[in-house]
Amino acid sequence: MVLLRGSIRLVGQASHSTEMLLQALQWKFPFTGNERPDTIPLALLLTSASIGSKRRRSTRTLINSIRSQRTSVSPITSSSSISTNEEVGRFVADQQLTLRNICEGHVPDHILRRIEELGYHMPTEIQRQALPVLFSGQDCILHAQTGSGKTLAYLLQIFSVINIQRSAVQALIVVPTRELGMQVAKVARILAAKSDQPVEENKSCTIMALLDGGTLRRQKSWLKADPPTIIVATLGSLCQMLEKQMIKLESMRVLVIDEVDFMFNSSQVSSLRKLLISYTSINNRQTVFASASIPQHRRFLYDCIQQKWTKGNVVHIHANPIQPMPPRLHHRFLICSRNERHSVLLSLLKSDAPQSAIVFVNEQSEKSKKAGNDPETSVLLDVLKKSHLGGHEILLLEEKINFNSRAASFAELRQGGAYLLVATDIAGRGVDLPDTTHIYNFDLPKDAVHYLHRAGRTGRKPFSQTKCVVTTILTSQERFVLQRYENELMFQCEELFL
Ligand SMILES: Nc1ncnc2c1ncn2[C@@H]1O[C@H](COP(=O)(O)OP(=O)(O)OP(=O)(O)O)[C@@H](O)[C@H]1O
């Protein structure tokens, strides 16, 4: 398809917003304004079939916007097409753009300086693909490997839209567990801190963690006095506050549901639906869903639109779709009988000498509870404590221990030093402990999604090449189940013999 200089013909998908396309042009063809008109390369081909009157209007808006920036248009060929969001992402990749290049003009400079101080210079794959779409204001489903930086992607979008001079809740991040909430709030606070500004400009964005497990007394008085800019919440506490009308969401610009597949499968799904449909309207907010696992994602995308959880032009961004787990994970399994598992785990810990590790144990079954057995988590904790595996802090994280102990365990893990954490799947979602080098499945995870999230608690340094190890202890009868996970998640497990 060839178009002559001075004319633009665009056949565009309604889902591509004007702003996003303009950004794509700006990346692909950096433009200073001093070029001679005939040297400015511009190539844009959008493919789509039918164009209704509404679409024609949005295409015309785009043409006008481009014309207002450029005086001339060169021939367009089909080889230089921008047809999907993925390609927009690829433009950014081709040009080796840094996070600053992508975020400049959207995210305040003090936040960009902060991410550089933290050592984040290059975007991860999901950040590369998602940030342009997020900045265009479209609703998004961020679907990418564990440990791939989805949190930073949605936080940068939040920082790009909030106005800290306004006293209103402008972003809400909903998470499944207290631990993940503490972590996300901490990252947001680190990014928002404005230490190098003069005092009068030092009004920074306020971030409230509204998480299950406390009395929420402090949050209630805070909400009465001055609403925070960003709230990170678990659904239980959030709904409690919404029902008491302690939180107003009219000014909310961005709603993030992290670990979205987990949230829709939890017992709180009705509260989640209510939040998405009744408390706020899709037209007044940008909705972002994130997870490393979205089973049947096409169906989910369809539901998002049908159920009006998102606007109709929601974009599903799927980074590394054929590799759902980070490639630097080395997967192993070891077959033994159930009563050999303690000694097998101890031998593995001795031979692997992990820097830090998480041992995943399944929740105690009702049958075992009724039989009066001790939960496997406590039994294992005792075994590990008695085994004198030098130097490791040995900790427990499970749902039924009280919230203070959970918080204490979590805080200790984050202080550094070697640890062995015995945990149920509560630690499987979102928890970011980048120093974890080894995962042990003391019990076989109950499905492939659980395997993926447990395994994903290691290998969480996006640009590192260091191998991390995931080992599953199983009985010979369970081998075929693990084989099924291997097929589903497209990875290979090596058999280990002690
Ligand atoms: N651009 C970047 N460069 C280097 N490190 C990064 C970058 N972005 C994020 N990280 C780091 O990567 C780690 C994982 O990020 P994050 O917790 O957001 O992963 P995630 O995609 O949400 O994973 P999960 O699906 O398991 O929740 C964090 O320790 C974070 O600090």
In the chain, list all ranges with CATH 3.40.50.300: 102-321, 329-495
In this predicted structure, the answer to whether residue 55 has a pLDDT above a threshold of 70 is no
Which pLDDT belongs to residue 215? 77
Residue 85 Cβ < 6 Å to ligand 1: no
Measuring from atom 9 of ligand 1, which residue has the nearest CA?
149
Q: How far are the Cα atoms of 8, 9, 67, 123, 492 from residue 4, in angstroms, in the given order?
A: 8, 10, 14, 37, 53
Residue 177 Cβ < 6 Å to ligand 1: no
Please, which residues bridge with residue 421 across strands?
358, 395
Ligand 1, residue 151: give the atom nearest the CA: 18
Specify the CATH superfamily of domain 102-321: P-loop containing nucleotide triphosphate hydrolases (3.40.50.300)
- pLDDT per residue as tens digits for the range 95-136: 689 999 999 999 999 999 999 999 999 999 999 999 999 999
pTM for the complete prediction? 0.82
- pLDDT per residue as tens digits for the range 183-200: 999 999 999 987 665 544
Does domain 329-495 fall under CATH 3.40.50.2300? My reply is: no
Which pLDDT belongs to residue 62? 53
In this predicted structure, the answer to whether residue 75 has a pLDDT above a threshold of 80 is no
pLDDT bin (cut points 50, 70, 90) of residue 30 is very low
Residue 292 Cβ < 6 Å to ligand 1: yes
Average pLDDT score over residue span 145-156: 97
- pLDDT per residue as tens digits for the range 406-436: 777 777 776 777 899 999 998 999 899 999 9
Residue 146 Cβ < 6 Å to ligand 1: yes
Least confident of 201-210, 268-277, 329-338, 438-447: 201-210
Residue 430 Cβ < 6 Å to ligand 1: yes
Which pLDDT belongs to residue 90? 59
Which pLDDT belongs to residue 118? 94
pLDDT bin (cut points 50, 70, 90) of residue 9 is very low
Which pLDDT belongs to residue 16? 54
Which pLDDT belongs to residue 32? 43
